[in-house]
Amino acid sequence: MIPGEAPRRLVLLGHPVAHSRSPRMQTAALAAAGIAAQYDALDIAPEHFEDAVAMLAKERAAGNVTVPYKERMRDACDSVTPLAEHIGAVNCWWVDERGRLTGDNTDVGGFDAAVTSLLGRRPRDLSVGVLGAGGAAAGVLGAVESWPGCLAHVYNRTPERARLLCERFRSAAHPVDDVGVIAGCQLVVNATSVGLHDDAVPLDVSLLAAESVVVDLVYRPNETAFVRAARASGHRSIDGRAMLVEQGALAFERWFGVSPDRDVMWRAVAQD
């Protein structure tokens, strides 16, 4: 548990945030744990982000961060955990007993748990194709570098972003300029926002190798078009809900020092 008084206000910072199920999920977890706290989503315009964070820090609030602010939140924090520093992104934050805004990254643990559950074993000796080079992709690479014998291939529409990201994870990742390399990997991960608002897909599923397993970090009601198309083509596939629940549970543990009821969180997320 974070030292000092437990937070009574929890917020999700992002732009947009209306689609997020984090408020529903965390509210259910708080009620199940008997914790009197409120969790809300705040849609913050980019030009107001730092001012909003400073105001919340003065209130001793805590919470999560989603697209597109995970990297900016790292810079806004007074202190970050070694993991968050390495990943370069913060998705979980609080104010410590000294009044310092503190950031952590639970996306790594959330992604690791989601993939382990999908595969039915600890990942090892896999080729991993990653679409995207933002904060979500960094969380993916943070998990991949802990998996024995795994190598990630990273593709981004802006090749320089992929190159810079892979520099931080050079033991486990390298950039590629051919999306076909991603499609040929054993584990294919969509770490972009494609499919968040519509049925666009980040990759033509007909390009996927026969053994490819698909993880889409995006989630929508009735899953994403990418997940549905991949499954229809015979690929094991999951959307971002498994990662959402686990990263949220890990954040809950950071704020309150107790494990939330994950079954309650799953039921809340599954409601359409």
Catalytic residues: 70
* Count, residues in the chain: 272
How many Å from the N-terminal Cα to the C-terminal Cα in the chain?
A: 32
Cis bond before residue 16 (omega within 30° of 0): yes
What whole-number distance in Å separates Cα of residue 175 and Cα of residue 101? Answer: 33
What whole-number distance in Å separates Cα of residue 220 and Cα of residue 196? Answer: 7
Q: What single letter denotes the amino acid at residue 261?
A: D
* 13 contacts 43 by C-beta, under 8 angstroms: no
Q: Beta-carbon neighbour count of residue 49 at 10 Å?
A: 19
2, 3, 24 from 257: Cα distances, Å: 7, 10, 20
